[in-house]
Amino acid sequence: MKPVKPKNFYITDWAMADEKCKARMERMMEGFGQPVSKVQVITEDEIEGLVRSKDWVDLDIRQGRVPFTGDPDVVFNKFKWTPWEETKKFIEGNDLLKNSKGYTRNFLRMLYGCMDHFHLESGKGKRDREVVCWQLYDLHSAYGCFHKCQYCRRGRVTTLMLNIEEFLGQVDQLMAENPWQKVFRYDVETDCLILEPEYGMCRALVEHFAEIDDRYIILFSKSDNVDFLLDLDHKGHTIMLWTLSTPTVSRRIERETATTEQRIEAARKCQEAGYTVRFKCKPITPIKNWREEATCSRSSSPRWSRTTSAWRCSSSTASPS
């Protein structure tokens, strides 16, 4: 994993009681370079006190507006898969969940183990404004991120679901219920590569989708932590997707991400390993001279001329979606 240094670690008691989750937590603690004794076990009843003491009651503040205090705390966790009626009752009886909104609401639901492992992006609002936009299910197994993009709000705390085998079973069910969707994206609520290979979710998804006809998984990132992917037998069913921003934005606004050049180099490695590679140019951040910086073919900068051939090469790659 990337050399990140969270100060505080927690694990829910229902994750700790699961041997596979516990083993995964131990492997990740080794990756963090920290002893397992640093992980504090929390019960469901203790979550509210933790949330209030850490001021996680309102996470909907962009990181550029709050002072950075290092890497996020980590809460190891486990999906509970409770039926919606039961979940709804639980939410209604919990002030914290009932009164929260936006990203905070989803994070808190994840913290209690009762958030869905997907969300539907219907795209309807955009289509109503005559913008072409597809509908899709996004997959999630974590809320929170170690990158510090100034426009994002995910950097204060991360909760990671460790029941990967059950997650894959739920993804199969989602696919069976939605035969129209061929390509699934993972994960817009975190950066999926940073904590790999110790976490193990990316490898599990790559190998799982490799065995499914006519379905593909997108791994979406701003990281260059790809070496663990290069020898996997993906069978062409994994698409690597990077946000591609300009060099200045990658350094000054998307702090602690891989730089533009590092992302392109990571894409090159993945392309050589047979992965389909894609870039998405979003968000467009309005810095001085953004248009010149973003127009690589017109730039005489050595930094850009190094990257231009990789961009051309990758952007011409065929994709199944």
Site residues, ligand SF4 (CB under 6 A) = 145, 147, 149, 152, 154-155, 190-191, 222, 254, 257
Q: Which is nearer to ligand SF4, 87 or 190 (CB)?
A: 190
Closest CB to ligand SF4 among residues 80, 147? 147
Q: Are 243 and 249 a contacting pair, CB within 8 Å?
A: no
Q: Smallest distance, Å, CB 18 to ligand SF4?
A: 26
Distance CA 233, CA 231 (A): 7
- Minimum distance from residue 199 beta carbon to ligand SF4 (Å): 15
| Residue with smaller CB distance to ligand SF4, 39 or 136 | 136
Q: Which residue lies nearer to ligand SF4 by CB, 248 or 299?
A: 248
- Nearest approach, Cβ of residue 66 and ligand SF4 (Å): 13
Nearer to ligand SF4, 149 or 157 (CB): 149
Question: Which phi and psi angles does 125 have, rounded to 5°?
Answer: -55, -40
The owner of tokens 């219920």 is 177
Helices (H) and strands (E) in the chain, counts: 13, 13
Q: How far apart are CA 203 and CA 232, in angstroms?
A: 8
**Pairwise CA distance, residues 144 & 159, whole Å:** 6
Nearer to ligand SF4, 82 or 150 (CB): 150
CB 254, min distance to ligand SF4, A: 6
Q: Based on CB atoms, which residue is closest to ligand SF4, 152 or 287?
A: 152
- Long-range contacts of 258-261, Cβ-Cβ distance < 8 Å, separation of 24 or more: 258/222, 258/223, 258/224, 258/225, 260/307, 261/303, 261/306, 261/307
In angstroms, rounded to a whole number, what is the distance separating the alpha carbons of residues 249 and 263?
Answer: 13
The tokens 């996680």 sit on which residue? Answer: 56
Compute the least distance from the CB of residue 225 to ligand SF4, in Å.
12
State in angstroms the smallest separation of the CB of 93 from ligand SF4.
31
Q: Considering beta carbons, is residue 39 or 115 the nearer one to ligand SF4?
A: 115
What residues contact residue 89 under an 8 Å CB cut-off, 6+ apart?
none
Beta strands in the chain (DSSP E): 9-12, 39-42, 73-77, 118-121, 136-139, 142-143, 148-149, 157-161, 183-186, 216-221, 238-243, 254-255, 276-280
In the bound complex, what is the minimum distance in angstroms from residue 70's beta carbon to ligand SF4?
14
> Shortest Cβ distance from residue 44 to ligand SF4 (Å)?
26
Sequential DSSP letters for 21-69: HHHHHHHHHHHHT--GGGEEEE-HHHHHHHHHHHT-S---S-GGGS---
- The token pair at 10 is 């927690």
Q: Which is nearer to ligand SF4, 106 or 190 (CB)?
A: 190
Minimum Å distance from CB 154 to ligand SF4?
Answer: 5
